[in-house]
Chains A and B, each alone.
Chain A
Amino acid sequence: MYVYDEFDRAFLAERVADFRDQVERRLSGALSEDEFKPLRLMNGVYLQLHAYMLRIAIPYGTLSSDQLRRMAHVARVYDRGYGHFTTRQNIQFNWIKLEDLPQAMADLGEVGVHGIQTSGNCIRNVTTDQWAGATPEEFDDPRIWAEILRQYSTFHPEFTYLPRKFKIAITAAPKDRAATKVHDVGLRLHRNEDGELGFEVLVGGGLGRTPFVGKSIRPFLPVRHVLSYIEAIMRVYNQFGRRDNIYKARIKILVHEIGAEAFAQAVEAEWANIRDGALKLTDEIIDDIRARFLYPDFAALEAEPAELKAALEDPRFATWYRNSVHKHKVPGYSIVTISLKPVGAPPGDATADQMDVVADLADAYAFHEIRVGHEQNLCLPNVATKDLPELWRQLDAAELATPNVNHISDIIACPGLDYCALANARAIPVAQEISKRFADLDRSRGIGRLHVNISGCINACGHHHVGHIGILGVEKNGQEFYQITLGGRADEHAQLGTLLGPAVSYDQVPGLIEDIVDAYLELRSSPKELFIDTVHRLGVEPFKERVYATH
């Protein structure tokens, strides 16, 4: 857990007071909409189809139980009793009145959370692995580096008005759970042959209208240089990035146009001038940030306690355990994923009551800590394995134990046309219908790992390009249509999906997905071959032949 200091709190209180004043002046007419809009966006407030939406950052996906409880309170008092966890480790409230926003923000600010860096052309909240600090795979806790970047980027005057928004993701494990290759900058922490910690630096990844997988511009950057190197990247971007056309202003376009090699050279040249300057991190700075992350007081526990062995006799528990529980770096502890994808529900939504349940369970069993991952699920990173059976019973009672993590019903979906003013088509009801078709858990377990990602328009908030099955809403003559891609992935082997064929109508999507899955079951070399690997081996053609023949 990260401990905020007084400066952070005072700053937040000031920021809320400013916003309260801005809202009052807007409501009285002293500020015009054109003047107010950038101000509200800087605080994470959007106007959607039916209401204002407040986006709150969950820095590096880490939440305390008090913070989550406060989010439940905001959902209950100012909204309609639920919140939506997003792919960028944010939470969104969909129905808050402008008049109530300052008070909602004040309530959230008291526990140190806010909407700064969730919108606008700034460096957005840095995202990372939701298993940070808990997974045995990691080389270091990536949140330390995310926090160093947060402090550097939040108030950097040059970076408040970039050509476009700028997203950074960090992973410190070989398995990439943070989709670093589809961010403007991806940082992959690892050790070199001498055992030193450093980052592989990727640039120019991104989704949206023009998707790209990030290119590696430096295989190893010693950690103490991370800020100067990012600064060099930002300077090159700021200098050469296009401001004339918002569709071309992202760093990915620059990297694509001049080439990764030329971009890398420009960065290296810039960096040579500043690498040993003020931004070079000293051990004191790193240790100071490191010291602000408090780790639980882990006890010496049995790795396979009797409670677990007994509970595994219950097939429902066993199914959940195999699906949602992962290995912790400390023996006797486990990482628990909480699916926010109950069959037929909007992906990523949690009611205020569910948030309270999770907060209480985090207090009882997980050292008061909760994580949010980019797949729109929650996670309790530090649970004593002996407590799993009791934890599961309580999660199950709150409909929070659907054992479908990484299954076909664990769908990422953006708000789509039900909420979003930019949408072409709905995304949530499509996800609901697909998850209903695959409600049978034996069936979905037999299919294995399969990520379906849905976006309601080309902005790609639902990461459709990197779904094993990607679904993109388009518009044809005023009707909702959907393009399907296969073979995308967001992990360390990130790849963009390939178009399967002509777009299909809203009603045809669920059937088409079933046909794709049937084709996979027929085509796979063995039950061990995952969907993504079958697509990789065979390409989309054999799928296309089978699927479109039946439609």
Chain B
Amino acid sequence: MAAPQQQKLKVNGPVAVTANRLSDGAVVWRTAEGSWSTALADAAVVTTAPEAIALLEGAHKRDTDAVGAYVAPVILGDNGTILPGNLRERIRVNGVTFALPGSDTPASTLPAA
């Protein structure tokens, strides 16, 4: 769970590029079309450092959509599903791991902000 700012770009396994949406901080993923999506399923998944760097460079071209882009590990599930690759990314995708105050349901089941 090394914070992304500490990571050197070593790619061994599938990765995607993620960031926070500028307007509200929501977690977004870089798509193959060069846009951003809140759904991990839409993420462009690559497996080599040059491809990851290319995705990052694309992400950095404009900073009015998303900020703080970095490369995050993902896991490829059966029939192409994309899953977050570590606990940090799981929490970013699914929300906090306990029920938010005043609600009986974990944040992950609340409507997106």
Which residues of chain A have a CB within 8 Å of any CB of chain B?
26-29, 32-33, 47-52, 80-82, 95, 97-99, 345-346, 349-353, 417-419, 421-426, 428-429, 432, 475, 478, 480
Residue pair A429, B102 in contact (C-beta under 8 Å): no
- Name the distance in Å between B101's Cβ and chain A's nearest Cβ: 4
- Name the distance in Å between A135's Cβ and chain B's nearest Cβ: 30
**With a CB–CB cut-off of 8 A, which chain B residues contact A29?**
62-64
**B27 at interface by CB-CB < 8 Å:** yes
Residue pair A49, B101 in contact (C-beta under 8 Å): no
**B96 at interface by CB-CB < 8 Å:** yes
- Name the distance in Å between B60's Cβ and chain A's nearest Cβ: 10
Partner of A52, one of B3, B24, B62, B103: B24
Residue pair B98, A428 in contact (C-beta under 8 Å): yes
**With a CB–CB cut-off of 8 A, which chain A residues contact B68?**
33, 47
Interface residues of B in 64-113 (CB under 8 A from A): 64, 67-68, 86-88, 91-92, 95-98, 100-103, 107, 110, 113
User: Roughly how many angstroms separate A423 CA and B96 CA in the complex, as a whole number?
Assistant: 13
- Name the distance in Å between A398's Cβ and chain B's nearest Cβ: 11
Q: Which residue of B lies closest to A78 (CB)?
A: B113
Residue pair B25, A50 in contact (C-beta under 8 Å): yes
**With a CB–CB cut-off of 8 A, which chain A residues contact B54?**
none
Residue pair B113, A418 in contact (C-beta under 8 Å): no
Which residues of chain B have a CB within 8 Å of any CB of chain A?
1-3, 20, 22-27, 62-64, 67-68, 86-88, 91-92, 95-98, 100-103, 107, 110, 113
> With contacts A27-B64, A98-B24, A480-B1 known, is A51 near B97, CB below 8 A?
no
Residue pair A50, B95 in contact (C-beta under 8 Å): yes
Residue pair B87, A480 in contact (C-beta under 8 Å): yes
**With a CB–CB cut-off of 8 A, which chain A residues contact B113?**
51, 80, 95, 97
**With a CB–CB cut-off of 8 A, which chain B residues contact A52?**
24-25
- Name the distance in Å between B65's Cβ and chain A's nearest Cβ: 10
4 new A-B contacts, CB < 8 A, other than A98-B22, A353-B102, are A81-B103, A99-B24, A418-B97, A426-B97
Q: Which residue of A lies closest to B1 (CB)?
A: A475
Residue pair A50, B92 in contact (C-beta under 8 Å): yes
- Name the distance in Å between B19's Cβ and chain A's nearest Cβ: 10
Residue pair A425, B67 in contact (C-beta under 8 Å): no
User: Roughly how many angstroms separate A133 CA and B27 CA in the complex, as a whole number?
Assistant: 45
Residue pair B67, A33 in contact (C-beta under 8 Å): yes
Residue pair A81, B101 in contact (C-beta under 8 Å): yes
Residue pair B23, A27 in contact (C-beta under 8 Å): yes
Partner of A97, one of B25, B27, B92: B25
**With a CB–CB cut-off of 8 A, which chain B residues contact A80?**
100, 107, 110, 113
User: Roughly how many angstroms separate A99 CA and B1 CA in the complex, as a whole number?
Assistant: 30
User: Roughly how many angstroms separate A428 CA and B98 CA in the complex, as a whole number?
Assistant: 8
Do most interface residues of chain B lie in helix, strand or loop, or is the interface mixed?
A: loop
Residue pair A429, B97 in contact (C-beta under 8 Å): yes
- Name the distance in Å between B20's Cβ and chain A's nearest Cβ: 6
Partner of A425, one of B1, B20, B101, B110: B1
Residue pair A50, B26 in contact (C-beta under 8 Å): yes
**With a CB–CB cut-off of 8 A, which chain A residues contact B95?**
50
User: Roughly how many angstroms separate A52 CA and B3 CA in the complex, as a whole number?
Assistant: 17
User: Roughly how many angstroms separate A131 CA and B102 CA in the complex, as a whole number?
Assistant: 28
User: Roughly how many angstroms separate A273 CA and B82 CA in the complex, as a whole number?
Assistant: 66
The 5 closest A-B pairs by CB, nearest first: A97-B24, A351-B102, A51-B25, A82-B101, A418-B96
Residue pair A349, B87 in contact (C-beta under 8 Å): no
- Name the distance in Å between A236's Cβ and chain B's nearest Cβ: 32
**With a CB–CB cut-off of 8 A, which chain A residues contact B87?**
417, 478, 480
- Name the distance in Å between A262's Cβ and chain B's nearest Cβ: 35
**With a CB–CB cut-off of 8 A, which chain A residues contact B92?**
49-50
User: Roughly how many angstroms separate A411 CA and B68 CA in the complex, as a whole number?
Assistant: 32
**With a CB–CB cut-off of 8 A, which chain B residues contact A422?**
3
**Residue with the highest number of chain B CB atoms closer than 10 Å, among A80, A349, A422:** A80
Q: Which residue of A lies closest to B3 (CB)?
A: A422
User: Roughly how many angstroms separate A98 CA and B25 CA in the complex, as a whole number?
Assistant: 8
**With a CB–CB cut-off of 8 A, which chain B residues contact A417?**
1, 87-88, 91
> With contacts A82-B100, A82-B102, A418-B98 known, is A49 near B91, CB below 8 A?
yes
Residue pair B27, A33 in contact (C-beta under 8 Å): no
**With a CB–CB cut-off of 8 A, which chain A residues contact B20?**
47, 50-51
13 A-B pairs with CB atoms under 8 Å apart are A49-B92, A51-B20, A51-B25, A81-B101, A81-B102, A82-B102, A95-B113, A97-B113, A417-B1, A423-B3, A425-B1, A428-B98, A480-B1
Partner of A47, one of B64, B67, B107: B67
Q: Which residue of A lies closest to B6 (CB)?
A: A422
Q: Which residue of A lies closest to B73 (CB)?
A: A478
- Name the distance in Å between A473's Cβ and chain B's nearest Cβ: 9
- Name the distance in Å between B71's Cβ and chain A's nearest Cβ: 15
User: Roughly how many angstroms separate A51 CA and B91 CA in the complex, as a whole number?
Assistant: 12
Q: Which residue of B lies closest to A79 (CB)?
A: B113
Residue pair A424, B1 in contact (C-beta under 8 Å): yes
**With a CB–CB cut-off of 8 A, which chain B residues contact A48?**
25
User: Roughly how many angstroms separate A26 CA and B25 CA in the complex, as a whole number?
Assistant: 14
> With contacts A28-B64, A424-B1, A475-B1 known, is A432 near B98, CB below 8 A?
yes
Q: Which residue of B lies closest to A457 (CB)?
A: B3
Residue pair B24, A26 in contact (C-beta under 8 Å): no
User: Roughly how many angstroms separate A486 CA and B57 CA in the complex, as a whole number?
Assistant: 47
**With a CB–CB cut-off of 8 A, which chain B residues contact A95?**
113
Residue pair B22, A26 in contact (C-beta under 8 Å): yes
User: Roughly how many angstroms separate A462 CA and B24 CA in the complex, as a whole number?
Assistant: 26
- Name the distance in Å between A478's Cβ and chain B's nearest Cβ: 6
**With a CB–CB cut-off of 8 A, which chain A residues contact B100?**
80-82
**With a CB–CB cut-off of 8 A, which chain B residues contact A424?**
1
Q: Which residue of B lies closest to A45 (CB)?
A: B25
- Name the distance in Å between B69's Cβ and chain A's nearest Cβ: 10
